Chain A
Amino acid sequence: MSIHIALVKTEGQKISVESAKKFIYSSDHGAESIFVGRVRNENSGKKVTAVTYDAHDQAVIKSFQLICNDAKNKFNNNAKIFLEHAKGYASVGEISILIAVGSGHRDEAFKICRYILEEVKHQSPIWKKEHYEDGKEEWLPGHSLRPKKEVK
């Protein structure tokens, strides 16, 4: 198995860098690239305390599988890929997304990691609601999946 994908419910579960490292390890690989996205304490001048991630579970898993398959086909079929995203309430500092790639050489490891991150942002139905220090909260704007020819 060369691809691991999951949505991790933040209540009771944590995304683990160590698990990712174990998964992608192979003596065939000379490169590992790991991207860790975390909840930041500020956005557009507002003090953020936490983010709630909502997701369409089935569609997210389907998109993760497609994105990882595409990445392997595009850059290196022998790469090992670990992709997990949080779902639920995550405080500042907690991991929101983890992408780990093991492959023969550094170039494809970096490229696969970057490719997956950008495609997740544009294809996977995940939403963020930020919680602020003043008690307010806000769903963040994003990328529309409506077919472009229909958008008025």
Chain B
Amino acid sequence: MDLEEHEPSSPKMHQVLDEEGELIGEEPDIEDDTLKDMYWWMFYARKADEKALKLQRQGRMGTFAPIKGQEAAQVGASTAMKDDDWFVPAFRELGAYLQRDVALEQNYKYFMGDARGNEIPGDVNNLPIAVPVSTQIPHAVGLAWGIKRDGGGKAVLTVFGDGATSEGDFHEGLNFAGVLNVPAVFFCQNNQWAISVPFEKQTNSETIAQKAHAYGFPGVFVDGNDVLAVHEVTKKALQRAREEEVPTLIEALTYRLSMHTTADDPTRYRSEEELKEWEEKDPIKRFRIYLEKKGIWTEDWQQELEKKAEDKIKEAVDAAENIEDPDPEEMFKYMFEVLPEDLKSQMEYLKRSLREKEIEEEKVEIEGGFP
């Protein structure tokens, strides 16, 4: 498909597979190994996400944002990236993160409240999780501007949700990108719910993709549960960014099958019917049907993946749960390159007060945790 010719305000999504996993039009030119990889990362992310939910419910993990249902959008986009492209995430990115070399134990550590889980693997250009909605978008633009000044050849992919498109930083970031013409790809996972606020209460635009019109660059509306379509569109947008140093906005329509975070109860605001309807459109199931028809997916292979995922998840849980406690110095030592005297003395005070602690306060557990 041609990004420039796509009509972003049309409610017609770009698809490669239909909802039954049947090819629509031409078969994309993707090697079997890549297809297998994509399936693995989607499947592994689903399993790791399900495990995290169990851990949270057992009180072994803090609040986190499940990705269930968004595996195709995440993996389709991240597999379109090169290692030296920059990935600028929001906070619901397990699928993309795992595919971008972040070890699962890191993610588990982070959501178990351990800052060391935020360590970035050495050879990949990932930013850490950004929690305030949309605020990472201008950072992606700055990185892309840096790339451009540096002679180009790389691109930045930033991801965010439908709610983020109502924020000022979305507008400011995309407007800057259009004016500066930088190699940034803005990838919206429209999962249709910003906690309890549905898409139609978020914007009166037909699509999010059409907002690109206003910034003077292409916008593409793609089926976010079709991993091949997401991959194709993102790959083209990134390539275009690397070669021509221009931005693209991609809207991937998907659905949050789980809760906003583990502190949220979606039965308060959305119907069982709607959920059922989208469970039928499960992105992993759809891709599996396609792979099965191609002779790539088999029961035996699935068993292999189940075993592999199970082992890796067990390892990650063990590593995350058995890490030694952080040193109190870690709370201070990354504040500045050189620690000011005042912070040093605050650090010494904390260490001393822990060492000499006489009164242990009773810990109060709050049911359900905090959002």
Does B bind A? no
Residues of A within 8 A of B (CB): none
Residues of B within 8 A of A (CB): none
